[in-house]
């Protein structure tokens, strides 16, 4: 218990739980997520769905297919791999072609672009373009 108290106190003192760090800044919109963050969240979600789907759908399907392809000389494993690969390919391609790229210049309705803040000469450079 003392270790948890010391650790929690150290984290709080280090400023990691500072109010300014954990509360969204003005102008933050949770629905306009950065594309890189959205891609990471989607990849994590697909991976988690894969774990659940493999146990709930994949394992019974594999057992069914191996029983179907089983012969006296083969258990039917390689045929099952081929069939499941084709099924996965169809679903992946269906999901891939389900996405559309918006037309150039498209913006969500009511979206207001953020105003660029004016930097003075004392601010550190924030991008390679500012280093000139």
Spans of all domains in the chain: 33-99
Token reading at 114: 């953020």
| Nearest alpha carbon to residue 117 among 126, 108, 106 | 126
CA distance 53 to 47: 10
Supply the pLDDT for residue 69: 95
Q: What is the rounded CA–CA span in Å between residue 56 and residue 61?
A: 9
pLDDT, position 58: 85
Least confident of 33-47, 71-85, 90-104: 33-47
Any idea what the Cα angle at residue 36 is, between residues 33 and 38, rounded to 5°? 50
Q: How many residues does the chain have?
A: 132
pLDDT at 125: 55
What does the pLDDT read at residue 80?
Answer: 95
For residue range 106-115, what is the model confidence (pLDDT) as tens digits? 888 888 887 7
Q: Is the pLDDT of residue 81 over 60?
A: yes
CB burial string 6-20: b at 16+ within 10 A, e below: eeeeeeeeeeeeeee
Q: What is the mean pLDDT of residues 19-28?
A: 61
pLDDT at 32 over 80: no
Specify burial of residue 80 (Cβ count, 10 A radius: 0-12, 13-18, 19+).
Answer: buried
Are the CB atoms for 62 and 77 separated by under 8 Å? no
Whether pTM > 0.75 for this model: the answer is no
């Amino acid at each position: 218990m003392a270790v948890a108290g010391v650790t929690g106190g150290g984290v709080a003192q280090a400023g990691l739980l500072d109010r300014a760090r954990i509360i969204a800044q003005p102008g933050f919109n949770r629905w306009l997520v950065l594309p890189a963050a959205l891609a990471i969240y989607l990849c994590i979600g697909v991976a988690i769905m894969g774990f659940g789907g493999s146990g709930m759908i994949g394992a019974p399907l594999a057992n069914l297919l191996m029983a179907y392809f089983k012969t006296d000389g083969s258990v039917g494993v390689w045929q099952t791999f081929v069939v499941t690969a084709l099924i996965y390919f169809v679903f992946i391609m269906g999901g891939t072609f389900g996405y559309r790229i918006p037309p150039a210049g498209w913006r969500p309705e009511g979206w207001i672009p953020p105003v660029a803040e004016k930097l003075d000469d004392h601010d550190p450079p924030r991008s390679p373009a500012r280093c000139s």
